[in-house]
């Protein structure tokens, strides 16, 4: 496992020390878990799909307003409203 060194401000360090005492986990283990959590958030589909915003050009100017009708047609849109 690679080793790394980080610099924390005083509040961050005090928080980690206290959290470590409360949980019985090492500061390193807490940081690794935080990094894993951040990494899993970045891989969620919702965050990945945001990278597509603006990547394509529409063939009509009103797609953002009429996207449901364009994708599903008017009949399906009306069924959902009844």
pLDDT tens digit at each of 82 positions of the chain: 999 999 999 999 999 999 999 999 999 999 999 999 998 877 776 777 777 888 888 888 888 888 888 888 875 545 555 4
Which pLDDT does position 57 carry in this prediction?
A: 84
Instruction: Say how many domains are in the chain.
Output: 1
The answer to whether the beta carbons of residues 53 and 63 sit under 8 Å apart is: no
Which pLDDT does position 77 carry in this prediction?
A: 45
Does residue 75 form part of some domain? yes
Q: Domain limits at 23?
A: 10-81
Does residue 3 form part of some domain? no
Q: pTM to 2 decimals? A: 0.53
Which pLDDT does position 79 carry in this prediction?
A: 55
In the three-class reduction of DSSP (H, G, I as helix; E, B as strand; rest coil), residue 5 is classed as coil
Does residue 53 form part of some domain? yes
Which pLDDT does position 6 carry in this prediction?
A: 95
Which pLDDT does position 75 carry in this prediction?
A: 54
Distance in angstroms (rounded) separating the CA atoms of residues 79 and 59: 27
Does residue 46 form part of some domain? yes
Does residue 1 form part of some domain? no
Which residues fall within 8 angstroms of residue 41, CB to CB, at 6 or more apart? 47
């Amino acid at each position: 496992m690679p080793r790394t060194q980080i610099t924390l401000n005083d509040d961050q360090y005090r928080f980690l020390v206290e959290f470590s005492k409360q949980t019985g986990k090492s500061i390193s283990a807490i940081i690794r878990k935080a990094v894993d959590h951040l990494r899993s958030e970045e891989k969620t589909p919702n965050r990945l799909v945001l990278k597509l915003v603006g990547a394509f050009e529409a063939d009509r100017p009103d797609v953002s307003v009429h996207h449901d009708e364009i994708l599903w047609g008017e009949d399906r849109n009306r069924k959902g409203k009844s």
